[in-house]
Amino acid sequence: MKLRYLRNISSLAVVNEKCIGCAMCIDVCPHDVFRIEGKRVRIIDKDACMECGACKRNCPFSAIEVTTGTGGLVPVLEEMMQKKA
Ligand code: SF4
Ligand code: SF4
């Protein structure tokens, strides 16, 4: 069974103009989040991303943006704080 995280909260993004499709991010991602389509990588399963940062650290062209170390908790906490305010 594939591990799922909270829906629509991962901070993961690819800067398409920087990506050359080397597939390094696919090699290091533990959750099959990416796929090569054409000559660039595409995010195919964003909700499977646990924000570990391996793809960002290993991309030779700095084409990946992700906020690491929170496991998707930041937006959840922000929403909770807004409801309390
Ligand atoms: S590692 Fe970077 S340049 Fe290579 S396919 Fe992934 S996003 Fe594109
Ligand atoms: S942050 Fe980790 S889980 Fe998310 S896409 Fe990158 S390597 Fe995969």
Average pLDDT, stretch 59-84?
A: 80
Which atom of ligand 1 sits closest to the CA of residue 14?
A: 7
How many whole angstroms separate alpha carbon 56 and alpha carbon 4? 20
Residue 46 pLDDT level (bands cut at 50, 70, 90): very high
In the chain, the domains with their CATH numbers are: 13-84 (3.30.70.20)
Residue 1 pLDDT level (bands cut at 50, 70, 90): low
Helix (H) or strand (E) holding 65: strand 64-65
Name the residue of 9, 49, 64 whose CB sits within 8 Å of the most ligand 2 atoms, as the mutation to test its pocket: 49
What confidence tens digit (pLDDT) does each residue in 8-41 have?
Answer: 788 999 999 999 999 999 999 999 999 999 999 9
Q: What pLDDT was estimated at residue 77? A: 66
Structure tokens at 50: 């646990």
